[in-house]
Amino acid sequence: MTAIARLRALRPLRMTLKARREAIIFYLCIAPWLIGFIVFTVGPMIASLGLSFTKWDMLSPPVAVGIKNYVTMFTKDPDFWQSLKVTAVYTVFSVPLRLLTALFLAMLLNEATRGVSIFRTVFYLPSIVASVAAAVLWAWIFNPRFGPINGALRLIGIKGPTWFSDPKWTLPALIIMSTWGVGGEMLIFLAGLKGIPKQLYEAAEIDGAGAPARFFKITIPMLSPTIFFNFVMSLIGSFQTFDSAWVISTARAGTPGSPMRSTLFYLIHLYRNAFGWQKMGYASALAWVLFLIILVVTLLTIRSSALWVYYEAERGE
Amino acid sequence: MERKMLLSVLVLVTMLLAACAAPTPEVIEKEVVVEKEVPVTVEVKKEVVVEKVVTATPVPPKVAGTIRVGSWESGGALDPWDKAIKKFEAEYPAVTVQLEAVPDAYGDKLLTQFAAGDAPDIFMVGDGDVAKFVLKGAIELLDPYVTGDSPLDLDVFFPGVLGIGQLEGKTYLMTKDYSPLVLYYNKTLFDEAGVAYPEEGWTWDDFVATAQALTLDKDGDGQTDQWGIQLPDHWGDPLWWRGMSPFVFQNGGDILDAEGKTTTGYMNSPETVGAVEFYVSLFNEYKVAPTKADIEALAGVDLFQTSIVAMLWTGRWPLKDFIANPELNFATIGLPKGKVHANSICWAGFAMYSEGKNKDTAWEFLKHIAAGDGAQEFARHAFTPVKSIAELQGLTEDRFNAPIIKDLEYLHSLPCFRTIHFGECVEKNFKEALEKLLIEGGDAQAALDDAAAKADACLAEK
């Protein structure tokens, strides 16, 4: 009898004794999550996919309309294109800015020798402030008359814009705002930085490499898996921006997405269709198109990672 | 992410529950049957009473059990609810009334409750939702109750406000409170500038002249420190359609036809275009009104109470605060007259849920809060629709309230009652045009032609 055949003969017995018990315990342990995932995520997703082919006002039963919602979106809804544009512009500027801010803070913390835990807490703190509260706070920071930003601009002789009332400046203001709550990314970067072996820097220093060379030749490549992870997560989050833009545009009873649709993010467009105008079917279709957009962008990013992400474990292969 | 998940959850839950519910047409048929049964039961009861005059057995009380009540109010505004419910429960010990206050996203919650077939028995409805909820069958027709075993005399209400809860002559909702647009003016600032107080029947020209005389750059730095008028509200949204709509109506315009089918010839009519040009000129040409950017810069400040604006165009709601401010010497006046007198109303009502399980009890409570002892509690906080309560309060004599009540006779019909797609098709496109004119300027006729074309295309799709 070969070893493999013997193993095969043993397997059913093992399964009944230990493996089965372990399997049961495994499923029991993940059951709360699994049930929640199926009931509150998979189920609604399937339902919303079904609803995306209907017209449903929540007051009367859904009516099937085929792919009409998807056709309308691409052919007859200028707000759809505007919301895509706003979301894309925001993403293009906000994601790199967020990553740079987070990396900068993480490197500061990595270099610090004293009070590290205090600074870590201080830098992380904004991330646990509720996004609505943060938006209200930033509305004050951007206040044209009393806010510190325009105050600082006045000191150097520049008359600051009216930020959230000026369609040209709302999106830049929101992008600046987005760099504030980067505590999560910062911590991940910090962990990544701590994982870079010290001897790499020592060796480079002996070879006469300056700080910029060490940063670009050691830190960035060694940190690339972390950058990749933070980039993907930031990207997904950025496509789903809602709270800050909602609070800013509807402050003092304004219209969502105002002024002049400059803050009409994709999710605001979706929400307005769903609950403002009771177009649940159309809103479901919008949700699925967003899902597909995020999926494609994420897959492209993952594809591109082979070109720029360096995994130490791959060296030997 | 969380919001998206929440949305999906709502969609699923509501869809599952919607799938369980019977198709709407059948439900309506059943309702009709029930309505017919009521008079029959009444007749039987009458016979019983006649036959056994002395030993009449008590009719089992229909007013019992638990009912749920939905409100979007919070804080002090819930006070009348608490008192009204306490009074009702004292009168009907067999009844428990549960107040469900949802100050944030009330409309969203109500919609999901409709989809789930589980809305409160009685709920508050804003004027903008009346047509939609009635036409989609979410609101119980009240006429059978009004004339039923526990009748209600509709003559106790002011007819104008009662009409807002009615559609095609049928009564669907009771009025909770309401307010037309009102002009407040700061007498101190008028006296300082030596400007005459506005008088009943003043015109647009008087209005602009007065506002100009009260717009001042006190410290001479080239920036306005005091504006003549803040409009159309006190929180700073110049695009608030209801608030600015009196200008359109006063100029003889409208933004939608009577059937709710077309906006061309209304939204872009010479009258409406003229009104919009006038409204925009108050901000951009005469500069007598603070713009959204000005108001943003003064965030958090009540411009009227701090004497930064001399006049304020808004609803009756801040009146209580103004009266309570001893520093403020002010008065109220009706809106100025354009080609005609016109005003708009902001209205909130009570509705009975068409799929409620305890409608007789709900009706009794509805009567209590709309016309009975409960209505007195609400009357302490806002205009009451009940004539006798208003008379008791002396509102028609009161120097602040009399001009407001006077303006009620100029109410113009609300376009949002003419189509359930008003918000999506009509208001949205009008507001986008208005916003463009306010921020970028340009030709009002062209902007409104474009808005009307878009609005009509949207309405035609439905």
What are the pLDDT digits (tens) for B202-249? 999 999 999 999 999 999 888 899 999 999 988 888 999 999 999 999
Q: What is the CATH architecture assignment of B182-343+415-461?
A: 3-Layer(aba) Sandwich (3.40)
Share the mean pLDDT of chain A: 91
Q: What integer is the mean pLDDT of B52-57? A: 43
**Residue A231, SS3 per DSSP:** helix
Spatial neighbors of B110 by CB under 8 A, at least 6 apart, are B70, B102, B119, B123
Q: What integer is the mean pLDDT of A219-246? A: 95
Is the CB of B108 less than 8 angstroms away from the CB of A253? no
Residue B19 pLDDT class (50, 70, 90 cuts): very low
Q: Are A128 and A238 in contact (CB under 8 A)?
A: no
Whether the domain at B62-179+347-404 and the domain at B182-343+415-461 fall into the same CATH topology: yes
Is the CB of A62 less than 8 angstroms away from the CB of B240? no
Q: What integer is the mean pLDDT of A268-290? A: 96
Phi-psi region of B167 (alpha: psi -120 to 50; beta: other; left: phi over 0): beta
Spatial neighbors of B145 by CB under 8 A, at least 6 apart, are B151, B152, B352, B359, B363
| In the predicted structure, residue B157 carries a pLDDT above the cut 70 | yes
Residue A263 pLDDT class (50, 70, 90 cuts): very high
| In the predicted structure, residue B30 carries a pLDDT above the cut 80 | no
Closest approach of A7 to chain B, Cα-based (Å) = 46
The label of the residue with tokens 């830190």 reads A219
Size of interface A-B (CB pairs under 8 A): 130
Q: What is the CATH architecture assignment of B62-179+347-404?
A: 3-Layer(aba) Sandwich (3.40)
Residue B62 pLDDT class (50, 70, 90 cuts): confident
pLDDT at residue B299, rounded to an integer: 74
pLDDT at residue B425, rounded to an integer: 96
The label of the residue with tokens 């003064």 reads B298
Is the CB of B297 less than 8 angstroms away from the CB of A62? no
Interface test with A, best of B5, B6, B7 (most A CBs within 10 A): B7
Spatial neighbors of B85 by CB under 8 A, at least 6 apart, are B69, B97, B99, B374
Q: Are A259 and A170 in contact (CB under 8 A)?
A: yes
Residue B13 pLDDT class (50, 70, 90 cuts): very low
Q: Are A172 and A150 in contact (CB under 8 A)?
A: no
Q: Are B277 and B444 in contact (CB under 8 A)?
A: yes
Query: Could you give the CA distance from residue A271 to residue B265 in angstroms, rounded to a whole number?
Result: 32
pLDDT at residue A116, rounded to an integer: 87
| Chain A hits for B435, Cβ within 8 Å | 255, 258-260
pLDDT at residue B198, rounded to an integer: 96
Q: Output the pTM of the full model.
A: 0.86
Which member of A162, A258, A278 has the closest CB to residue B435? Answer: A258
Q: Are B157 and B342 in contact (CB under 8 A)?
A: no
Query: Could you give the CA distance from residue B211 to residue B208 in angstroms, rounded to a whole number?
Result: 5
Is the CB of A275 less than 8 angstroms away from the CB of B15? no
Q: What integer is the mean pLDDT of A34-47? A: 96
Query: Could you give the CA distance from residue B18 to residue A59 in angstroms, rounded to a whole number?
Result: 9
CA distances from B435 to A278, B123, B281 (A): 24, 33, 13
CA A30 to chain centre: 26
Residue B352: beta bridge partners? B122
Spatial neighbors of B104 by CB under 8 A, at least 6 apart, are none
CA proximity to A164, closest of A268, A253, A263: A263
The label of the residue with tokens 């933004």 reads B255
pLDDT at residue A250, rounded to an integer: 86
The label of the residue with tokens 């995306």 reads A52
CA A31 to chain centre: 27
What DSSP state is assigned to residue B204? Answer: H
Closest approach of B279 to chain A, Cα-based (Å) = 18
What DSSP state is assigned to residue B95? Answer: E
Q: What is the pLDDT of residues B123-137, one digit of tens each?
A: 999 999 999 999 999
Q: Are B317 and B323 in contact (CB under 8 A)?
A: no
Q: What integer is the mean pLDDT of A233-254? A: 90
| Chain A hits for B239, Cβ within 8 Å | 254-255, 258
| In the predicted structure, residue A317 carries a pLDDT above the cut 60 | no
Q: What integer is the mean pLDDT of B310-314? A: 97
| Chain A hits for B114, Cβ within 8 Å | 58-59
| In the predicted structure, residue B28 carries a pLDDT above the cut 70 | no
Q: What is the CATH architecture assignment of A78-314?
A: Orthogonal Bundle (1.10)
Strand order in the sheet with B182-186: B227-230, B309-314, B182-186, B330-333
Spatial neighbors of B147 by CB under 8 A, at least 6 apart, are none
Runs of H (alpha helix) within B384-443: 387-393, 401-407, 428-440
Query: Cis peptide before B336, with omega less than 30 degrees from 0?
Result: no
| Chain B hits for A37, Cβ within 8 Å | none
Domain boundaries, chain A: 78-314
Q: Are B211 and B359 in contact (CB under 8 A)?
A: no
∠ CA B233-B239-B270, nearest 5°, is: 115
CA B337 to chain centre: 23
pLDDT at residue A313, rounded to an integer: 66
Is the CB of B9 less than 8 angstroms away from the CB of A44? yes
Of the candidate ranges A34-43, A72-81, A125-134, B443-452, the one whose mean pLDDT is the lowest = A125-134
The label of the residue with tokens 């849920």 reads B353
Residue A3 pLDDT class (50, 70, 90 cuts): low
Cα dihedral A289, A290, A295, A300 sign: positive
Is the CB of A252 less than 8 angstroms away from the CB of B236? yes
**Residue A146, SS3 per DSSP:** coil
Query: Could you give the CA distance from residue A267 to residue A276 in angstroms, rounded to a whole number?
Result: 13
Q: Are B354 and B140 in contact (CB under 8 A)?
A: yes
Instruction: Give CA torsion, residues A26, A29, A32, A33, to 10 deg.
Output: -60
CA distances from B432 to A259, A260, B114, B290, B428 (A): 9, 7, 31, 20, 6
| In the predicted structure, residue B52 carries a pLDDT above the cut 90 | no
CA proximity to A247, closest of A179, A183, A173: A173
Is the CB of A275 less than 8 angstroms away from the CB of B435? no
∠ CA A249-A254-A256, nearest 5°, is: 50
CA proximity to B128, closest of B459, B420, B431, B433: B420
Q: What integer is the mean pLDDT of B148-158? A: 94
For residue A250, the tally of other CB atoms under 10 A from its CB is 16
Q: What integer is the mean pLDDT of A142-161? A: 92
Query: Could you give the CA distance from residue B400 to residue A213 in angstroms, rounded to a whole number?
Result: 76
Q: What integer is the mean pLDDT of B368-381? A: 94
CA distances from B192 to A251, B293, B327 (A): 34, 27, 15
The label of the residue with tokens 């933070």 reads A230
Is residue B299 classed exposed, middle or buried when 0-12, 13-18 and 19+ CB atoms within 10 A define those classes?
A: middle
pLDDT at residue A12, rounded to an integer: 55
Closest residue in A to B422 (Cα–Cα): A277
Q: What is the pLDDT of residues B252-283, one digit of tens each?
A: 999 999 999 999 999 999 999 999 999 999 99
Q: What is the pLDDT of residues A195-225, one digit of tens each?
A: 999 999 999 999 999 999 999 999 999 999 9
| In the predicted structure, residue A80 carries a pLDDT above the cut 60 | yes
The label of the residue with tokens 């359930």 reads B420
| In the predicted structure, residue B48 carries a pLDDT above the cut 60 | no
Domain boundaries, chain B: 62-179+347-404, 182-343+415-461
What number of residues does chain A have? 317
